[in-house]
Amino acid sequence: MDSLHSFEHPLGFAAALFFAYFVLSQIRERMIWKHRTRGHPLPPGPRPLPVIGNLLDMPSLKQWVGLRDLCSKHGDMVYLDLLGRPMLIVGSARAATEILEKGSANTSDRPPSHSLTLTSNDLVFTVMRYGQWWRDHRRAFWQVFRPEKVGDYRDVERGFAHELLAKLLESPQDLEQHLRFTLSATNMKVLYGLDAHQDENREFIERVQDALLCTSELATQMHPVDYVPFLRHVPGWVPGAGFQYTLARCKAAVLDVREVPFTKMRAAYVSWIAGSVSLPSHLIFFLQDKGQSQPCALATLLARSQVTEGPDIVNDAYQEDVIQNVGLAAFEGRYLDFRNHA
pLDDT in tens, 1-30: 444 444 445 556 566 666 777 777 767 777
Quote the percentage of the chain above a pLDDT of 90: 12
**What is the structure's pLDDT at 174?**
92
Q: What is the pLDDT of residue 105?
A: 73
Least confident piece of the model among 22-26, 48-52, 228-232: 22-26
pLDDT recorded at residue 314: 46
pLDDT at 58: 87
The percentage of the chain sitting over the pLDDT mark of 70, rounded to a whole number, equals 79
Task: Choose between 269 and 100: higher pLDDT.
Answer: 100
Judged against a pLDDT cut of 50, whether residue 289 lies above it is answered with: no
> What is the rounded average pLDDT of the residues 228-237?
81
Which residues have C-beta within 8 Å of that of residue 222, sequence separation ≥ 6?
Answer: 82
| Range from 98-102, 104-108, 127-131, 175-179 carrying the lowest mean pLDDT | 104-108
- 14 vs 299: which has the higher pLDDT: 299
Which pLDDT belongs to residue 252? 92
pLDDT at 53: 84
Residue 70 has pLDDT above 70, yes or no: yes
Distance, in Å, from the CA atom of 11 to the CA atom of 238, rounded to the nearest integer, reads 9
Query: Averaged over 206-211, what is the pLDDT?
Result: 83
pLDDT band at 73 (very low <50, low <70, confident <90, very high): very high
- Per the CB < 8 A criterion, the answer to whether 234 and 135 are in contact is no
pLDDT tens figures, 164-192: 999 999 999 999 889 888 988 898 888 88
Three-state SS string across the chain, please? CHHHHHHHCHHHHHHHHHHHHHHHHHHHHHHHHHHHHCCCCCCCCCCCECCCECHHHCCCCCHHHHHHHHHHHHCCEEEEEECCEEEEEECCHHHHHHHHHHCHHHHCCCCCCHHHHHCCHHHCHHHCCCCHHHHHHHHHHHHHHCCCCHHHHHHHHHHHHHHHHHHHHHCHHHHHHHHHHHHHHHHHHHHHCCCCCCHHHHHHHHHHHHHHHHHHHHHHCCCHHHHCHHHHHCCCCCCCCCHHHHHHHHHHHHHHHHHHHHHHHHHHHHHHHCCCCCCCHHHEEEECCCCEEEECHHHHHHHHHHHHHCCCHHHCHHHHHHHHHHHHHHHHHHHHHHHHHC
Question: What pLDDT shows up at residue 69?
Answer: 92
98-112, 174-188, 191-205, 289-303: segment of lowest average pLDDT: 289-303
- Better-scored residue on pLDDT, 246 or 342: 246
0.75 exceeded by pTM: no
More confidently predicted of 155 and 200 = 155
pLDDT of residue 150: 83
User: Mean per-residue pLDDT for 324-332?
Assistant: 83
| 330 Cβ contact partners less than 8 Å away, ≥ 6 residues apart | 141, 145, 187, 190, 191, 297
Average the pLDDT over 234-246 and give the result.
84
In the predicted structure, residue 221 carries a pLDDT above the cut 50:
yes
**80-83 own/partner pairs: CB under 8 Å, 24+ apart:** 80/45, 80/46, 80/48, 80/53, 80/54, 81/48, 81/53, 81/54, 82/53, 82/54, 82/55, 82/58, 82/222, 82/227, 83/26, 83/51, 83/52, 83/53, 83/55, 83/227, 83/228
Q: Indicate the range of 132-146, 230-244, 253-267, 295-309 predicted with least confidence.
A: 295-309
The mean pLDDT value for 201-224 works out to: 78
The pLDDT assigned to 74 comes to 92
What does the mean pLDDT of the chain come to?
A: 78
